Structure 1
Amino acid sequence: MSVTDDAIEAIKQMIVDGELRPGDRLPPEPDLAERLGLSRNSLREAVRALSLIHVLDVRRGDGTYVTSLEPALLMDAMGFVVDFHRDDTVLELLEARRIIEPATTEMAALKMPTADIEGLSALLDSLGERPTVDQLVENDLEFHRRIAAGSGNAMLASLVETLSGRTQRARTWRGLTQEGAVERTLAEHRAIVQALAARQADIARATATVHVAGVEQWLRQALIEPRGAEPR
């Protein structure tokens, strides 16, 4: 492990141990470097690395602070990595969604406030009778974001939002090329809302699985027999 890695680990341990808490300011650079037995250059590299993944916030002329460490903030780094996926790894993203989103939907069936579930129906109604594919995909992203938030687990909600956003082009491609995709998506969304409203956690999980698996299954076939532009 490099000296910079040692510095990163030392700062991380201070946060894990509770010595540094969200919003706390780090000690002055000379003092912290001496305390950790590190060079100031190594400490600067560590601070720079941790600021890139939103663990630290470097405020010019003020100092360096621990961020809020909220899941949504920390998950930005994962989103950055996922953005570099290749076309053939979109399937892996969908596989991850198929594992995570049904469990999140099941949790939402037990915890999501009734008013928020009713809001999902209103969200679907806002599309009208003949939405465009772009309108549907935008609505779809918000639909899944709200359900994930309804799970009551901020980490899962951030993870779902990250994965869902990165499969947007694949879903747009499906909507443009697969006959009946728009109608099928809306029907599956309605079924999920119905299960949530009835507080049927097992059915909510099952309908969410079928919904995400349908996109995955279509994409597998589409990649075997390419049609049109490939998703990213």
Structure 2
Amino acid sequence: MGDSTQAAGRGDDATSTSHPYRPGYELVAEQLLNYIAQENLRPGDRLPTEQGLAQILGATRNVTREAVKVLAAIGRLNVRRGAGIFVAASVSGLLDDELSHFRPTSMEDVHMLLDYRKVIESETARRAASLATPIEVRAIRESAETTLTAATENDVDTFAKADAAFHDSVGAASHNVFLRSSVAGVRRLAAQSDVLLFHGDLPGSLEVAARQHLAVAEAVAAGAADLAERLMVEHIATTQSQFEKKIRDRLFNPGGDKIL
């Protein structure tokens, strides 16, 4: 663990020579999540001090502090003044504490997350097509239309909000609070990858995603349960392929987009 993070930690905000396109704090944040998993730390467990973590990870204290701030911002750590640094509670009370070990920069973990989304959200789409009220159908359609408008204007922030509203609206129309909660929880985990890898940017084509939203919305409006289910699976499969390509470009292709 130490070699890669030692390189990351040199020069505070400098990037490592082995990963010239990723900032040091980002690499240390990734290593810190690996440390939590390797030590089998659970929500509520206390971590060493910043200085102690810096020594364990082979990084400078400044870079370690920035890594802790980022992980606290995405809900993975809980920093209590005068008390210390703790593993934060699960993103949802309904999700197992094992998800405290989710690695948002790991291809394997992201693949499992998106596979789970296919299972959960395909069922919410199927149920929404059978159970949605006219008001719920309108909410789904309006949020889908907003994603398309935002996509054509390349408005990432508006798209992200409308995207969340679309998936939540489909979850609400399933008329199952556990399904809706699962959708919300899994999307919060996905947002951790957005922050750590993409700095709030979104992987893939916004317009493709928006048009898929509209197709799902129309299937729900038509009461076509099988079609809504299939379209949602296709939508998340597209997201998965885009996401995985983005991770490969960011992590393994020095000629790809750089994280500055």
In the superposition, the TM-score normalised over structure 1's length comes to 0.59
The structure-2 alpha-carbon separation of the partners of 1:220 and 1:116, relative to structure 1 and needing over 3 Å to count, comes to same
Does the Cα contact within 8 Å between 1:171 and 1:215 map onto a contact in 2?
no
Q: Which has the higher contact order (CA 8 A, sep 6+)?
A: 1
Q: Does 1:219 align with 2:207?
A: no
Distance 1:83 1:184, change over 3 A: farther
CA distance in 1 between counterparts of 2:156 and 2:237 reads 19
Number of residues of Structure 1 aligned to a counterpart in Structure 2: 157
**Counterpart among 53, 71, 76 of residue 93 in structure 2:** 76
Counterpart contact for 1:79–1:162, Cα < 8 Å:
no
1:183 aligns to 2:207 (yes or no):
yes
Tell me the alpha carbon deviations over residues 117-149 of structure 1, each in whole angstroms, 9 at most, x when there is no partner. Answer: 112222234453515112211211111011111
1:139 aligns with 2:169: no
Question: Could you state the TM-score of these two structures normalised by the residue count of structure 2?
Answer: 0.53
Q: Which amino acid aligns with 1:130?
A: E
Matched residue type, 1:203: L
Is 2:219–2:227's contact at 8 Å kept on the other side of the alignment?
Answer: yes
Once the two structures are TM-superposed, the CA of residue 81 in structure 1 deviates from its matched residue by 5.4
Structure 1 runs of 4+ aligned residues shifted over 6 Å read none
In structure 2, the partner of 1:109 is: 129
Amino acid at match of 1:85: F
2:94 and 2:175 mapped to 1: Cα distance? 22
1:90 — aligned with what? 110
CA distance in 2 between partners of 1:169 and 1:123 (Å): 23
Query: Which range moves more in the overlay, 118-127 or 159-168?
Result: 118-127
Post-superposition shift, 1:112? 1.0
- For the Cα contact (< 8 Å) 2:203–2:242, is it kept in 1? no
Q: Structure 1, residues 18-54: CA drift from partner, whole Å, max 9, x if none?
A: xxxxxxxxxxxxxxxxxxxxxxxxxxxxxx9xxxxxx
Distance in 2 (CA, whole Å) between partners of 1:74 and 1:168 is 11
Over the aligned positions, Cα root-mean-square deviation in angstroms equals 3.0
* Structure 2 unaligned blocks of 5 or more: 1-43, 45-89, 251-255
What percentage of residue pairs aligned between the two structures are identical?
21
